[in-house]
């Protein structure tokens, strides 16, 4: 087993679990289905095709910045004549009185996550190659949410979870007393020291556009100390340290 590290940052992210057309929610951290979808897009796997070996991947998420929740209020079809209104399920047109469709889309604004991705060596090598030269644009849960670069922290990693705990730079300031910074780590499975446990329906079994099915998985959130020396705030210093880390200079 080996691993790689993903940095998920951008103006907006959205990791839905119970999304319907009218209300599209987001979890407070990346979902398993969203992470698999990001990698599948990079590999050029078409929607509805089997994900194959990608199901062997395991993810541990470090919440570097939780971001701010944002709700985008949408209306569709208002003010149009009946002939141009949205079609109903039976193929008819909406009446003028019911033509306006309202949706709410939830996002995380200004969030940053670093994800330890573990799996068999050959699979991890293939995933890293796809992320370096993606077939299709990776996105942070939705196509309207492109990631910042670097997405892949491209360096050899034997134990990516240990890297999250000790070495990967954090875009937060350390406590003023110089103590370690406590960050939330989201683990798959049940952990005795978790402060939060939940069951998420975000492991895809069917990934087609109109027939998406998921099975549950247990998730544990554990508060974990990260060295103050690896905290660089929201500054150019953080970006410089991130590049140094990728190049293997920062430990």
Instruction: Give the pLDDT means over successive 10-residue stretches in the chain (251 positions).
Output: 92 85 86 96 89 94 97 76 71 70 89 97 96 96 94 91 96 95 96 93 75 86 97 91 86 56
Answer yes or no: is 89 within a domain: no
In a domain, 94, yes or no: no
Q: At 165, list the tokens.
A: 């705990």
CA 45 to chain centre: 18
The CATH number for 237's domain is 3.30.70.2660
Q: What is the pLDDT of residue 97?
A: 67
Q: What pLDDT score was predicted for residue 203?
A: 86
Phi and psi at residue 185, to the nearest 5°: -110, 130
pLDDT score at 248: 84
Query: pTM for the whole thing?
Result: 0.88
Instruction: For residues 132 and 52, give the distance between their C-alpha atoms in angstroms, rounded to a whole number.
Output: 20
pLDDT attached to residue 21: 66
Residue 133 belongs to what domain range? 2-19+26-70+109-169+178-249
Instruction: Note whether residue 88 is domain-resident.
Output: no
């Amino acid at each position: 087993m080996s691993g790689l590290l993903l940095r998920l940052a951008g103006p907006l992210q959205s990791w839905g679990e119970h999304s319907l057309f009218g209300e599209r929610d987001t979890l407070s951290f990346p979902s398993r289905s969203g992470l698999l979808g990001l990698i599948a897009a990079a590999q050029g796997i078409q929607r509805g095709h089997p994900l194959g070996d990608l199901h062997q991947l395991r993810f541990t998420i470090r919440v570097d910045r939780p971001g701010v929740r944002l709700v985008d209020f949408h209306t569709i079809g208002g003010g149009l004549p009946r002939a141009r209104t949205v079609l109903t399920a039976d193929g008819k047109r909406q009446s003028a009185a019911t033509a306006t469709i309202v949706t709410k889309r939830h996002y995380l604004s200004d969030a940053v996550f670093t994800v330890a991705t573990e799996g068999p060596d050959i699979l991890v090598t293939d995933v890293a190659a796809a992320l370096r030269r993606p077939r299709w644009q990776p996105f942070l849960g939705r196509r309207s949410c492109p990631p910042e670069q670097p997405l892949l922290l491209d360096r050899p990693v034997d134990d990516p979870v240990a890297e999250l705990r000790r070495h990967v730079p954090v875009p937060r300031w350390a406590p003023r007393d110089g103590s370690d910074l406590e960050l939330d780590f989201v683990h798959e499975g049940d952990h005795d020291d978790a402060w939060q446990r939940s069951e998420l329906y975000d492991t895809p079994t069917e990934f087609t556009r109109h027939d998406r099915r998921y099975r549950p998985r247990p998730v544990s959130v554990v508060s974990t100390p990260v060295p103050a020396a690896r905290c660089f705030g929201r500054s150019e210093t953080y970006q410089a340290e991130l590049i140094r880390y990728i190049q293997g200079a920062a430990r």
